[in-house]
Structure 1
């Protein structure tokens, strides 16, 4: 069974799996005219067990992944994605909903961009495409992450009635090639 954190089933390896499953569709979509001017994207996944107010946002980031070379980007999509993720995390709401329906919840310093989703307690944000595509990409990753959680929960149930801590596995070179936590 894959590793899990001391707290729960989802860790950076689960996030990496979810991104890897979504990646072929995301990369294909980024090549489509009108999706992204630079054919790049940055994804941020927040640890679902990290609670706003009890954890700093940088410590709450579970995994980040970039498509394209950030040094070549015309904008800081990493910062934009992080801002979207932080807003979704603080509000427990999709950033599109905050921007369009609940702007009264915005605070000084919050992003005015959307593309972050809150799905069943999972926060995923994307930046680099038009916001409606950023949101679609974030939803794809969140959906795969929910599936990975279900898969891991099923495997854990087969071992017993309580979730037990599993030994951590070392990060491999492949992990660093696929994506890195910043």
Structure 2
């Protein structure tokens, strides 16, 4: 074989390798990556579709469950007062104290804090009474149907069997019913 023939064969081999490399690098590999991404997307959608088909088969039970959750939500929402009424809070606290033979002293209100869907009112209730009377009063306060209280902290001093108590409470009220009233007031 002559030198020119070998060079021509070597040139053809190099051109073929270069074309194959260029095809793989610039055409095949990017499209292959795109195909793999589309395959993952199709697999994800297929699994989601299968899940939704399962929901469709259980639609009546899901509707029943949604109705139950809405009932629970409404029941819980109805248990939370719609507004914080300070005179009513004082009356409730004094009533609980008198029922449990505890002598109420003072009720001090702190700042009203507004959250997304509710408001909180911190307050301090001071009283005098026996240990059992104060414990019963605290239990009654926490089980109160009218106003929702959370016990924040307690501070007691004992003076010859009589406890002087400082009870820090937080009262809660819902803001859910507040928005439509505000809109009505603006439209007038």
- Decide which structure has the larger Cα Rg and report it: 2
- Report the TM-score, using the length of structure 1 for normalisation: 0.20
* Higher strand residue share: 2
Name the structure, 1 or 2, with higher relative contact order (CA <8 Å, separation 6+): 1
* Higher helix residue share: 2
